[in-house]
Amino acid sequence: MAKQTIGIGTTANDGTGDPLRDAFDKVNDNFDEVYSSFTFASNNATVANNVLIGNSTVNSVANSTTVSISNSTSEVTATSGSLLVGNSTVNTTSNSSTIVVSNSTSSITVSEGTIAVGNSTVNTTANSSLVNATSVTVNSNTGLTLGTSDTSANGFTYLPNGLIIQYGSVDANTTVGDITFANVFPTGLYSLTVTTNIAGAYDSTYQSIVIASNTSTANVRTGNVTAKSVSYTAIGK
């Protein structure tokens, strides 16, 4: 309803204004219009339709599904499914499954299964099965763990490209020297290097060789009946 204005005449007591009853009828209609837009309960007022607060600096709009506040530098919008905070420098969007923060240099996205941080220099994506980064600097010798590992004397560890390196030692001579890898190579054994540990003068009969190998074991022998410790390094995938 448009606002109803009470007629007060041209001059005082000229008899051209609204009759008293008509004037207060307009007053009641105006108040009914105002009160019909609000619901009052326990000191709270609910707005049935839109509320607009605006000037040259800040503009706000609120309705049953959206709250929006904006000015020349930023904008905030909240709906039943999303929240948006944005300006020319930073934009942030949030809903029930995603949070996105982006500007001219970087972008961060968080969803139910994925986290992504990216710009023209670095892109990182993480979910339950994947972490992918163009470049990573770890400022600790023990700060990065890839898969499982075993740091015992005969152990193994994973390399960043999916390779496995296994290491250890075994006593070997002409008849014994069998290695059982701490972790079976799922795909294959690519390289196996053995070195005999000899204290004192060099003796070529202690030189160690690999006579057989597979993804779980290897057989090492020397040319001497006296057993010596043989160190090994195996690389596979």
**Tens place of pLDDT for every residue, the chain, 237 residues?**
888 999 999 998 898 999 999 999 999 999 988 888 777 776 666 666 655 666 656 666 666 666 666 665 666 666 655 555 555 556 666 665 666 666 666 666 666 666 666 666 666 666 666 666 677 777 887 777 777 888 899 999 998 788 999 999 999 999 999 999 999 999 999 999 999 998 877 899 999 999 999 999 999 999 999 999 999 999 999
For the record, the structure tokens of 78 come out as 């909240």
Entry pTM: 0.47
- The residue among 154, 174, 156 whose CA lies nearest residue 164 is 156
Q: Are 86 and 73 in contact (CB under 8 A)?
A: no
Cα(224)–Cα(194) distance, rounded to whole angstroms?
16
Separation of first and last alpha carbons in the chain: 78
The contacts of residue 149 (CB under 8 Å, 6+ apart) are: 155, 156, 157, 158
The CATH number of the structural domain formed by 155-236 is 2.60.40.3940
Three-class HEC string of 75-114: EEEEECCEEEEECCCEEEEEECCEEEEEECCCEEEEECCE
Give the C-alpha distances (Å, rounded to integers) separating 191 from 9, 25, 136, 184, 213: 107, 99, 28, 14, 10
